[in-house]
Amino acid sequence: MATSVDYVEFVCEQIREFGEIRYRKMFGEYMVYLQDRPILLVCDNTVFVKELPELEILMEQAPRGYPYGGAKKHYILDIEAPDLLRQVIPILEKVIPLPKPKEKKADAAAGLYRNFLQGRSAPFYRDWFYL
């Protein structure tokens, strides 16, 4: 069962007091960002939080689960518990880093060309050159 947009918007509304919130659809489910930090994963209308040492004591009674096949175990966050949210969200905001900016395509192509000139070419590049 996929997550509904209404549920994701409800989750965002619950944490809106903590700052700028946005969400993004990823692999069929949703990632919720606070101040551009990926803090919550919403899968099957369930809110998941990464298991972090900083949350261990606070979330020890929380159920755990896997947001999707192949994922690590996460805490399941009760999004309707405002007292818990007021404790968990600020910790996540401090602990979770901003994602690294992606390399622009032009920079990636320049990097491949630079590697090619230095003799460290990728196999497809070498094959292409000798065609």
Residue pLDDT, tens place only, 17-28: 999 999 999 878
Residue 102: pLDDT band with limits 50, 70, 90: confident
Alpha helices in 19-117 (DSSP H): 82-95, 105-117
Burial annotation 118-131 (CB, 10 A radius, 16+ → b, else e): eeebeeeeeeeeee
Is the pLDDT higher at 105 or at 8?
Answer: 8
- 49 has pLDDT over 90: yes
Mean pLDDT of 72-100: 93
Mean pLDDT of 66-70: 90
Residue 76: pLDDT band with limits 50, 70, 90: very high
